[in-house]
Amino acid sequence: MTPPSFRFFLGLHISQKVPDATTIWRFREDLVNGGIVEELFATFDAHLRANGFMAMKGQIVDASIVSVPKQRNSREENARIKEGDVPEDWSENKRRRKDVDARWTKKNGKSFYGYKNHVSVDVKHKLIRSYAVTDAALHDSNVFEQLFADNTSKDVWADSAYRSADQLERLSQDGFREHIQRKGSRNSPLTPREREGNRTRSKIRSRIEHVFGVQVQRAGNLLLRTIGIARARAKIGLRNLAYNIDRMGMLLTAGG
């Protein structure tokens, strides 16, 4: 039996039927194909700004890996998929069950297969102001500047993955004040002053970890069971939107 709370969420009277699985599936496909999720996200962001939640005090950029079920392919099949070529001998049914858009990546010595959720969060309210979804293998720095959202401050925080001489020069030319973590190496370790600078920047940069932590807490295991990057973008975009809705509720309860 459908819980009353779910009926209330859908706006259904107790005498009305709850949508069946096929109806829900078609609705999800409409979200994927129509770009509706991006429109919903932008509409809610405008609602946030209209209700006093302007993006303020700068922005923090980071990415989180979103895993999908691992594919059991041969080495030859994986090599062809990586080149953007789907094996000809796959049946139509097999093609529908294979995610050929996801990619492998390593983080902290551990391998992951899936996508990345790149987000920009405003420092003041910890709301997601923009996002991008890519395969997991794409380096974070490739979508860095496209994540920048309108903010009352030109300050930008990020971890060391986004730091390069070219990146710093572009930020300076565009008038941004960078607060990007420094990274030492075996032959060039960080100086005490640089380590202290990292600790200072981390006090603000680490706020974005709360965003990813809440998403894990609310959604549980973030393993996506969709096929293809189009569906992944829709599903991850909805998670980002759901986070913002939940976060706005907390801000209103706390008085902004």
The mean pLDDT of 1-12, rounded to a whole number, is 73
Q: Note the pLDDT of residue 220.
A: 66
Q: Note the pLDDT of residue 1.
A: 59
* Tens of pLDDT, residues 147-163: 999 999 999 999 999 99
pTM assigned to the model? 0.87
Of the chain, the end-to-end C-alpha distance in Å amounts to 38
Q: Note the pLDDT of residue 221.
A: 62
Calculate the CA 206 to chain-centre distance.
Answer: 16
The mean pLDDT of 1-28, rounded to a whole number, is 76
* Tens of pLDDT, residues 30-68: 878 878 899 999 999 999 999 999 999 999 999 999 998
Q: Give me the phi and psi of 51, to 5 degrees please.
A: -105, 25
Calculate the CA 73 to chain-centre distance.
Answer: 27
For residue 93, the 8-state DSSP code is H
CA dihedral 11, 16, 17, 18 (to 10 degrees): 20
pLDDT band at 16 (very low <50, low <70, confident <90, very high): confident
Q: Residue 41 in contact with residue 134, Cβ under 8 Å?
A: no
Q: What share of the chain has pLDDT > 90, as a percent?
A: 59
Q: Note the pLDDT of residue 2.
A: 65
Q: Note the pLDDT of residue 222.
A: 65
Distance CA 209, CA 62 (A): 9
